Every structure is written in C-alpha cells, then in structure tokens.
Amino acid sequence: MTDRTINNMSPRTPQQYEVIRDEKRNLIMDVALQLFAVNGYHNTTISQISKQAGISKGLMYNYFKSKEELLSEILGRSEAEILSCFDPNRDGYLSEDEFVHFVQMVFQIIREKISFWRLFYQFLLQKDVRESFIMTHIADSVTITDKNSSAFFIKRMLSVLRDFFIRKKERMPSGYDPETDMKMFLYTIEGYGLSIIFNDTNDDEKHSRTIDAIINYYK
C-alpha cells in the first residue's frame, strides 16, 4: 500500500469537515439565489433546489431547516461583505476617512461581483422578499437579540451613520436636516448601485467622477 493510499484513507479532520460543509452551504445558496431570481421565491421548491445542487432533499435539511432559513442566510451573506467595510475598527464612530472608504468599497464590491448582484437584486425586488427583509432587518419595530446577526449590524450601521450626519450639522447652514440628508445618501447609494448592476457600460473614468461627487456631497 503506497503512502498516497494511506493518506487518502486517513479520516478527515473536523476542520476539513467544516470546509466541506461551508462549500455545500454556499453551493446550495448560489443555486437557490439563481432559482429565486428567475422563478420567484414562492414558486421555487426545496426539491428544485436540491435537484439543481445535486444534493438529496433529505440531506438539504442538514444544511438548512427550511426555505425561510435559506432565504435569511442568502440575505445575510449578501450583506456581510458590505457591512465589513463599514466602521472597520468597530468603535461606533464613523470618521470622514471611514465614510470615504465605505462608499468606495461598496461600489468596488458591486463591480467585482456584478453577476451575483444582478441576481440578488432581481431576487430582492420581489415584493414579498423585500418586505420580509425590511421587517426582519431594518424596521424600527425589530427587536434583535442575536448580536452576531446581519440584522444587528444593519441596525448598528444605521445608528452610527445617523451620528455621522448629526455631527455634520455643526458645519452646515441653518435648517440642515441630518435625518433627511442620511436618507438621501442611502437612496443615492442604492440608486447608483442599481445603475452599475443593470448597465452594461463600464466607463472607469465616469465611475470615478461619480464616486468622488457622491463622497464630496455627503461627507
């Protein structure tokens, strides 16, 4: 028996099993997102997802207890990378440099993974999915107990961002409304993000000018 055969027969470590599990979970989420975006969330079944992913329906439930949990995980995963760019030192204070970094990174992430974000927005723009996202992640009435959840970080992000715009009031003319300014900033981020996602042109110079304009207007 060769050394290679012995190595191949060696039991996997817990870390290796965890890597395999993560790979399967990501595969299932990728397949589910594509089916949700194309067919609609309610029209897609666990059976369809498992078949497309090449995993038995029974095994699917070892990774996700329900389609609702799968939906929640997809939403959470999509937010995680962007949220990681916000207030990176997690001190609850957003400096101007951190604000600039956040704006730049949001659009860099979108451009680098544009195929994913196209599918994600097709999915998120479904009325019931969007309503579920708002009610479970960002509505004022949401009570969050899990401090590791994406919903917790979104609520925290909005709170830190609100403080940033309130501090901005000190150097703005009388009548400045930080709440409205923050909302307009979020609308601008979402609007320009959508224009990147659904526009096939890729003008780097125009993109850079737009990013600079957004930063200079809101910081």
Say if CB 192 and CB 206 are below 8 A apart: no
Domains and CATH numbers, the chain: 1-65 (1.10.10.60), 75-218 (1.10.357)
Tens digits of residue pLDDT in 9-18:
567 787 777 8
- Say whether pTM exceeds 0.85: no
Q: In this prediction, what percent of the chain has a pLDDT beyond 90?
A: 40
Residue 136 has pLDDT above 70, yes or no: no
How high is the pLDDT of residue 211?
96
Half-sphere exposure of 59 (CA within 13 A, CB side): 11
Say if CB 94 and CB 161 are below 8 A apart: yes
How high is the pLDDT of residue 172?
94
Region of residue 202 (left: phi > 0; alpha: psi -120 to 50; beta: else)? beta
At position 43, the amino acid (one-letter code) is N
**7 contact partners, CB below 8 Å, separation of at least 6:** none
Tens digits of residue pLDDT in 179-192:
999 999 999 999 99
How high is the pLDDT of residue 83?
84
How high is the pLDDT of residue 1?
45
Residue that wins the pLDDT comparison between 136 and 194:
194
Q: Give the span between the Cα atoms of 133 and 129, in whole angstroms.
A: 6
**107 contact partners, CB below 8 Å, separation of at least 6:** 192, 193, 196, 207, 211
What is the average pLDDT across 121-139?
A: 69
Tens digits of residue pLDDT in 58-95:
888 999 998 888 887 887 777 778 888 999 888 999 99
Q: Give the span between the Cα atoms of 19 and 7, in whole angstroms.
A: 18
Say if CB 188 and CB 73 are below 8 A apart: no
